[in-house]
Chains A and B, each alone.
Chain A
Amino acid sequence: MAREFRLGGAPHLPAATSVQTVMLKVLLALLPGIAVSVIWFGVGLLLQIALACVFALLAEAAMLQLRGRPLRPFLSDLSAPVAAVLFALCLPPWAPWWIAAIGMLSAIVLAKHLYGGLGYNVFNPAMVGYVVVLIAFTRELSAWPALAAGSALAPGEMLHAVFGGGQPWDAMAQATPLDTLREQLGQGRTLAEIRSGPAFASAAVRGEWLALAWLLGGLWLLQQRVIHWQVPVGVAVGVIAVAAPLWLYDSGRHASPLFHLTSGATVLAAFFIATEPVSGAATPRGRLLFGAGVGALCVLIRRYGAYPDGIAFAVLLMNAVAPLLDRWLHPRVFGRSK
């Protein structure tokens, strides 16, 4: 007696991976850097991450409901928490709770769902969220804790700062090394003088440790084939290509390429932010150029722009150009000469 079977398409194998697995790996790779950040900046970061995640998931659920899409597959794909964590890492640890709310609303609603949801965002959602709050609420975002030991807020003060509106606008707040650099370069000091200043020394060293932590996570992501090597290499090349000539021209007034690579969010951007697959380039050479563009623009914005860190703007600008890069830098097909 002939038997009937249900059909299915090739390949007839269990799936190798899933979006959830990919996002989970990204979150795991962020852990070393988060740990180091918590050590330097206090547990406030964890509070920001939690707030951002909550708001992100709420925004996502609301938008899915409004658009008539099923909730479970999209909420469990972990893409919103990844954007939330990356966004929270850019915030000062005691930023008010509504910063996270507005940022995540912009990221999930504006940058993600209004463009079509998962897989359709043209711009990096975390960076859109960050840029919105950065431009709208510059003061709240420029208050970083001093990195001197013992300067972290006690938990009670932290909660008050985040939820109670009691921002510590006193001497404990301090600008980041990049901020200090810009400001004091603007005042005409040379790098040597700035470096020897109190605000700088320990901060820069700790920054290097942070960069190392991001690097570890990023290398693991490379090994897991979650990200492509062309993006971080491109970012490094871009940074060096712009920073090196400037530094060689006048090392008194321009920071070295190494400084650019290890300070701020460069390594974080190279491995976690610029590698956001949906808004980045989709071809190998496109990714290289995309990364190089991010690195170059970042250095230029840091040096000549009005904001201390250029990563967010650099990434958004390159997001706009990415489709064009793909069109120009189409890879060669097997059996064709070009």
Chain B
Amino acid sequence: MSSSIALHGFHGGLRLPGHKIAASAASSRACPLPPTLILPLGQYGGSLAQVLVAPGDRVRRGQLVARADGLAANVHAPAAGSIVAIEPRPVPHICGLPASCIVLAVDTDADTDDRAICFPPMVEWQQADAQSLLERIADAGIVGLGGAAFPTATKLGYPIELLVINGAECEPWIACDQMLLRERAQEVCTGARIMRQIVGATRVVLAIEDRMQDAAEAVRAALDSSTDIELVEVPTIFPQGGERQLIRVLTGKEVPSGGYPVDIGVLCHNVGTAAAVYRAIVRGEPLLERYVSVTGHGVLAAGTWRVTIGTPVEWLIAQAGGYSGDAARVVLGGSMTGTAIATDAVPIVKASNCVLVLTTDQLRDPAPELPCIRCGECARVCPAQLLPQQLHWFIRAADWDAVESHALIDCIECGLCAQVCPSHIPLVDWYRHGKTELHLRADAQQRADAARKRFEARTLRLAQAQAERTERLAARQAVDEESPASDPIAAAVQRAAARKRSEGGPEHGA
């Protein structure tokens, strides 16, 4: 039932005009399979999954085609077909660089193919132990569907007290979580219960924004007076759905700077992730599809679709009626935090929640950027309580020590500072630049320290070898002096033999 827990606030934030009607008016539709699916191998943090197939192989729907490595998750073939290539293709990453992908040509009868591979359904999951549940989640390739794509099994590996299921979709245009809740609330709730069993949480809260009343109704109907999951409506302020802000609103506690929610006994998962967990455990399905909103004034028929992972954006937009005349930019994500893509050949990946096609009048005027007038609006809206103005000055001046001490790593890149800046300074771009520079600088510092150690160790080793040699030379001369009458050659041969015996092998190095 709806719970009336005392809600806290968070600093900053802004009420943004909502644009979710377009994507949420009608029910979601299933997007037909495209002729080609593109499956990127690289996922969280740049780790690459290990490819298990080769060009020419035939695969079945649900077949494992790349194994998790590091923080990359398992990749499964979302449809029956054959592998065309494993090559670099454009991917939805902000850098615009191509990355290694498996290119799958889908069979024409793939829709009706019923030889899909899936795991054995764990219908009695309540009796299963946490380890086997986690293994199934990892095997199914489930990652955080809220946008970060962090491997879910790793995130569920810690005991916590409060499990938050995040349905507070705060980006103004995106409605995929809302639609998922409206249509599959039962799956989300069961998934939440499975997660609770794994981590042993004492409390489960499902948070939604207070303007998502249709989702609230659906969740209440699914919960049907059970009290193990509390439904909480939070105010519709951007970026309410940000993990740290949501946790603060629900509990009043702040995730430590540079830390994680587990540090304060909280875990936050997206509603889509919960639904995927349900499907993996109860139905044995790997993560093969997700809800994606296609919206904006640049598409003719906005709506929310159930899209197969790997579908090219181009195909999806064609299903949504195609581009309108004035389509000027395609953004993967929302208007505040999304990434503009250069080509619509990029695929929908596990973390894609929205394709937003914007027309020229919906975009910022390319007016020149003026100098910062230090008005302080950016600091007023920053949910991380940073000083965006100072950060911008320091990054501009490349004063990296000051950038670090002003907590750039805590910036969640919500975009509010850039939105309110009267001088139209692209603050988020500055912070991204600052973050990668800081990261590389820390990296370079580490490598330099390691190189220094190795150099000093080598110098020491050489000096020791030298000292030993000098000692041996001195010892040899002493022996010579004691027995001057013996044959010097024979003595030398004797010494060499003695040395060989004592050292037992050829010398290494210098």
Contacts and interface: CB of A to CB of B under 8 A. Distances in A.
Contact of B376 (A116, A118, A277, A330): A277
A13 B343 CA distance: 20
A72 to B, nearest CB: 9
Interface residues of B, number: 71
A171 interface: no
Interface residues of A, number: 48
Q: Identify whether the interface residues of A are mostly helix, strand, loop, or mixed.
A: loop
B484 interface: no
Contacts of A330: 387
B418 interface: yes
B380 A119 contact: no
A16 interface: yes
Given A2-B345, A19-B373, A336-B256, A8 B385 contact: no
Nearest to A6: B329
Contact of B370 (A12, A118, A336): A118
Contacts of B372: 119
B254 A335 contact: yes
A289 B369 CA distance: 31
B157 interface: no
Interface string A39-73: 00000000000000000000000000000001001
A331 B424 contact: no
Interface in A57-97: 70, 73-74, 77, 79
Contact of A334 (B11, B362, B429): B11
A2 B390 CA distance: 41
Contacts of A9: 340, 418, 426, 428-429
Interface in B140-189: none
Interface string B355-367: 0101001111101
Contact of B244 (A228, A332, A334): A334
B344 A334 contact: no
B335 A12 contact: yes
B376 A334 contact: no
Contacts of A135: none
A277 B371 CA distance: 12
A22 B254 contact: no
B344 A282 contact: no
A225 B259 contact: no
A5 B96 CA distance: 12
Nearest to B172: A13
B25 to A, nearest CB: 22
Interface of A: 2-19, 21-22, 70, 73-74, 77, 79, 116-120, 225-226, 228, 277-278, 280, 282-284, 287, 326, 330-336
9 contacts: A4-B343, A5-B343, A10-B340, A19-B373, A22-B422, A73-B368, A225-B380, A277-B376, A287-B376
Given A5-B342, A11-B335, A333-B386, 13 more contacts: A5-B341, A7-B341, A9-B426, A10-B336, A10-B340, A11-B419, A12-B363, A15-B365, A16-B420, A277-B375, A278-B373, A278-B374, A335-B256
Give me the 9 closest cross-chain CB pairs, A-B, nearest first: A119-B371, A335-B257, A2-B345, A11-B415, A334-B385, A277-B375, A333-B407, A336-B257, A9-B429
